[in-house]
Amino acid sequence: MFCPKCRSEYRKGFTECADCQVELIPELAPLPAEPKSVDYVQYQELLSTYNLADIAFIESILDSEKIIYFMQNEEFNTLTFSPQPVRVMVNTDQFDQAKKLLKDFQPQYSRLSSD
Ligand SMILES: [Zn+2]
C-alpha cells in the first residue's frame, strides 16, 4: 500500500498514512516523465587556444564527427588581437568522444582542460 501524497510504502494492514492522514492506495501512479528538451544542449570547455590554425583543425575534426560545439571569443580573435583565448565548447554528452579525437593533437599554444 502506498500513500498518494508522500509516496511512502506501507505494509499490508495499514489503511492510512501516518504522516499525511490520507487513505492509502494499492498502486502509485507512475511519476510523470521528466520533460526532455531536444534543443537544450549543455556545453563544456574542451580546450582553449590562441592559435587560429588550431581552431581550424579542431573545427574540421569536430565537424567530421558531427560533434556539437561552438567557439567562444572567436570573432574577437579573428579581427584583432585579443588577450582572451578562443574556448572550444563541446556538447557535454560528446565531451569524452571529442577529447578522444583530440588525444593525439598537441596544439602548440593550447591547453587541454584537465577534466
Ligand atoms: Zn503520506
Q: Spell out the domains of the chain, with CATH numbers in brackets.
A: 1-31 (no CATH), 43-112 (3.30.70.790)
Kindly list the protein residues that place their beta carbon closer than 5 angstroms to ligand 1, a single-atom ion.
3, 5-6, 17, 19-20
CA distance 105 to 95: 15
Claim: this prediction has a pTM higher than 0.85: no
**pLDDT tops 90 at residue 81:** no
Report the separation in Å between the CA atom of 49 and the middle of ligand 1, taken as the mean of its atom positions.
Answer: 55
| % residues pLDDT > 70 (the chain) | 75
The torsion angles phi and psi of 76, rounded to 5 degrees, stand at -60, -45
How far away, in angstroms, is 31 Cα from ligand 1 center? 16
CA of 94 to the centre of ligand 1 (A): 41
Coil, helix or strand at residue 36: coil
Task: Name the E strands within 6-100.
Answer: 43-49, 69-72, 86-91
Per-residue pLDDT averaged across 62-81, rounded? Answer: 77
**Neighbouring-strand partners of residue 86:** 49
Mean pLDDT of the chain: 82
Q: Are 79 and 49 in contact (CB under 8 A)?
A: no
pLDDT at 37: 57
Query: pLDDT (tens digit, 9 = 90+) per residue, 18-51?
Result: 999 999 999 887 776 666 655 677 899 998 888 8
Who's near 7: CB < 8 A, 6+ residues apart?
A: 28
Q: Are residues 74 and 56 in contact, defined by beta-carbon separation less than 8 angstroms?
A: no
pLDDT exceeds 70 at position 78: no
pLDDT computed for residue 79 by the predictor? 57
> Cα separation of 34 and 2, whole Å?
22
Output 43 or 74, whichever has higher pLDDT. Answer: 43
Q: Among residues 111, 50, 112, which one has the least CA distance to residue 84?
A: 50
Ligand 1 center–CA 2 separation, angstroms: 8
